[in-house]
Structure 1
Amino acid sequence: MEGNEMAKLCQSCSMPMDKDPGGGGTETDGSKSDKYCSLCYQDGKFFNPDFTAKEMQDFCIQQMKKQGMPGFVAWIFTRGIPKLERWRAD
């Protein structure tokens, strides 16, 4: 894949936006967010507003393990979370 063909990632949890079951989070006006997935962001707010990047990583790893993914693989998928837009200010 070339740069602009790559799937966009949720800038909170790193899930590929094209895998989001809700098709993206929503802003306060009901429009779809192009930055955050429906599992992180609804009505212009984060579901876990007080999470740190590390807490988000741990949460995502647990969710992926519940779906049968090995912990090490889940960790690989989440290791970039601290570099995402939501967490850069932390």
Structure 2
Amino acid sequence: MENTHFCQSCGMPLTTEDAKGTENNGQKTNDYCKYCYEDSHFKNPEMNLEEMKNNVKIHMEKKKLPSYMIQKALNILPSLKRWKNNQFVI
């Protein structure tokens, strides 16, 4: 069974090449989705973890996913590559 990659910004499964973001040379990346990352840059570089949590929650609720699944996704976000070295207390 093949390992599924997940976006290291929002946690979305990267199950197809079309879902993957791109590097500046046009190659697909296994680290980020097309909604978060394009041409080696984050689409919303100013976004913080709390904003991403809210964004993920809204998108998952629109898909009518169960609340336990939404909570699990939100709990995973801080451990993803984009956020784990970027946690500040203000």
TM-score of the two chains, using structure 2 as the length reference: 0.80
The residue aligned with 1:7 is: 4
Post-superposition CA distance 1:27-71 (Å, at most 9, x none):
111111121011111111112111112211110110111122244
Q: How far did residue 81 of structure 1 move?
A: 0.7
Percent identity (aligned): 35
User: Which structure 1 residue ranges, 5 or more long, are not aligned?
Assistant: none
1:1-80 mapped onto 2 (5 Å cutoff)? 5-18=2-15, 22-80=18-76
Q: C-alpha separation between the residues in 1 aligned to 2:17 and 2:10?
A: 14
Choose between structure 1 and 2: higher strand proportion: 2
User: Which structure 2 residue ranges, 5 or more long, are not aligned?
Assistant: none
Q: Over aligned residues, Cα RMSD in angstroms?
A: 1.9
Could you tell me which amino acid in structure 2 is paired with residue 13 of structure 1?
C
The residue aligned with 2:83 is: 87
